[in-house]
Structure 1
Amino acid sequence: MGCSRSQLAETIHTQLNITFPSTNMPGTLGEVIAKIKDRLGDKMEADGIAIDLLQRKKGRERQNPDYQAPWEIIYQWLWEIEFPRRGWELAKETATYAKEELQMIDSNKVDRDLVFNVPNPTIHKGEKYALEVNFLHEGHLLLINQGVSGNLYCLCPSLGFSPETQVMPDKKLYIPSIKALAPCLEYNTTGNEYFLAILTENPVKLSWVNPDSDPSYMLLTDERLREIFQEVGRQWNALVFSKKFEVVE
Structure 2
Amino acid sequence: MNLPRYEEHEDEFLKAMANRFGFSGKTWDVFIARFREKNTNSTDKEVAFSLEEDLIYGTKEGAVPATIMRDRLKVICNKLEAEGCDYQGKTKGKWKIAKHWLREELYPQWLKQRRLITLSREQLWQQLWEQANPTDKIQPVLFPKSLPTLEMGEAEMSQEESLSFPLNSKIRLEVNLESAGYLLLLEKGTSGKIYCLCPSGFAPEPQHSGGLFILPQHNTRHKSFKLTGSPGEEEIVAVIAKDVPGLDWLPKPGEKLLQLREEHLMGLLDYLSDYRDCQVLRTAYGVTV
Q: How much does 1:101 deviate?
A: 0.3
Deviates more, 1:147-156 or 1:197-206: 197-206
- How far apart in 1 are the matches of 2:32 and 2:227? 48
Deviations, residues 90-143 of structure 1 (Å, cap 9, x unaligned): 221232111x2011123368xxxxxxxxx9621221111110000335432211
Distance 1:132 1:248, change over 3 A: same
State whether structure 2 residue 140 is matched by structure 1 residue 104.
yes
Number of the residue aligned with 1:51: none
Q: Helix, strand or coil for the counterpart of 1:193? A: strand
Number of the residue aligned with 1:12: none
- How far apart in 1 are the matches of 2:220 and 2:20? 49
Number of the residue aligned with 2:76: none
- How far apart in 2 are the matches of 1:166 and 1:212? 13
State whether structure 2 residue 260 is matched by structure 1 residue 224.
no
Q: For 1:34-45, list aligned pairs within 5 A.
A: none
Q: 2:183 aligns with which of 123, 141, 145?
A: 141
Q: How many residues align structurally?
A: 181
Q: How much does 1:153 deviate?
A: 0.6
- How far apart in 1 are the matches of 2:31 and 2:241? 29
Q: Percent identity?
A: 24
- How far apart in 2 are the matches of 1:33 and 1:212? 52
Distance 1:210 1:247, change over 3 A: closer
Q: How much does 1:156 deviate?
A: 1.1
Number of the residue aligned with 1:121: 163
Q: How much does 1:224 deviate?
A: 2.3
TM-score by length of 1: 0.57
- How far apart in 2 are the matches of 1:238 and 1:180? 27
- How far apart in 1 are the matches of 2:221 and 2:29? 54
- How far apart in 1 are the matches of 2:178 and 2:30? 41
Q: How much does 1:79 deviate?
A: 6.9
State whether structure 2 residue 274 is matched by structure 1 residue 240.
no
Distance 1:212 1:183, change over 3 A: closer
TM-score by length of 2: 0.50
1:125 aligned partner, one-letter code: L
Does the Cα contact within 8 Å between 1:80 and 1:230 map onto a contact in 2?
Answer: no
Deviations, residues 145-193 of structure 1 (Å, cap 9, x unaligned): 00011111111122x1212223454x21112111234432221221101
Does the Cα contact within 8 Å between 1:148 and 1:193 map onto a contact in 2?
Answer: yes
- How far apart in 2 are the matches of 1:248 and 1:166? 33
2:278 aligned partner, one-letter code: A
Deviates more, 1:144-153 or 1:24-33: 24-33
Q: How much does 1:220 deviate?
A: 0.8
Q: How much does 1:83 deviate?
A: 10
Q: For 1:38-53, list aligned pairs within 5 A.
A: none
Number of the residue aligned with 1:166: 207
- How far apart in 2 are the matches of 1:34 and 1:138? 51
Q: Helix, strand or coil for the counterpart of 1:232? A: helix
Q: Helix, strand or coil for the counterpart of 2:174? A: strand
Pick the structure with greater CA Rg: 2
Unaligned runs of 5+ in 1: 1-15, 39-76, 110-118
- How far apart in 1 are the matches of 2:179 and 2:199? 18
- How far apart in 2 are the matches of 1:141 and 1:161? 13
State whether structure 2 residue 231 is matched by structure 1 residue 195.
no
